[in-house]
Amino acid sequence: MEGRLRLNLEQLSLAAGDFDRSLGIELSALDPIIADAVRNGQAQKFEFTIELFWKTTKVFLLERHGFDIVSPKAAIKKYFELGFIGYEDCERLLGALDIRNSLSHVYKKEAFLALHAEILGYTGFFEKVARGMQEVNA
């Protein structure tokens, strides 16, 4: 099972890096149609990264601590309870899950743009909150 955690951590690091690089694209310099496509791609990379984060956390909690947790929010809360992240980071991760859930049900451009604006604040965040798992698994 240790190989599974290592693979998940590697994939998470790649996904977080891809997400962060996508946020570095200057949208105002792009044609509006291309900028819209880039925003959609950034949202998709965000969704993928938070999904991979919680699933990696689930594997970490099971392999390293013996907790078999099935829900995303419960996994993040346990990660917090074990001291791998602080309260503010826990709240941001829970907020990221809420954003992910909302993106699946957004049909108005204004609502999407509001969620996208929130996503922009997550640059560098996923790498930061994954450090505890990476250090334990080193």
Least confident of 9-13, 64-68, 120-124, 134-138: 134-138
pLDDT score of 1: 47
**Distance between CA atoms of 125 and 30, rounded to whole angstroms?**
26
Question: Residues 35, 10, 54, CA angle at the centre, nearest 5°?
Answer: 75
Token pair 């108005």 in the structure block, residue = 108
Here the tokens at position 64 are: 């390293």
The pLDDT score that the predictor gives to residue 2 is: 65
Q: State the pTM of this model.
A: 0.93
Contact 76, 97 (CB under 8 A): yes
Residue 3 burial by Cβ neighbours in a 10 Å radius (0-12, 13-18, 19+): exposed
Between CA 50 and CA 61 the distance in angstroms is: 16
The token pair that represents 47 in the structure block: 């969704």
Task: Map out the domains of the chain with their CATH numbers.
Answer: 2-137 (1.20.120.330)
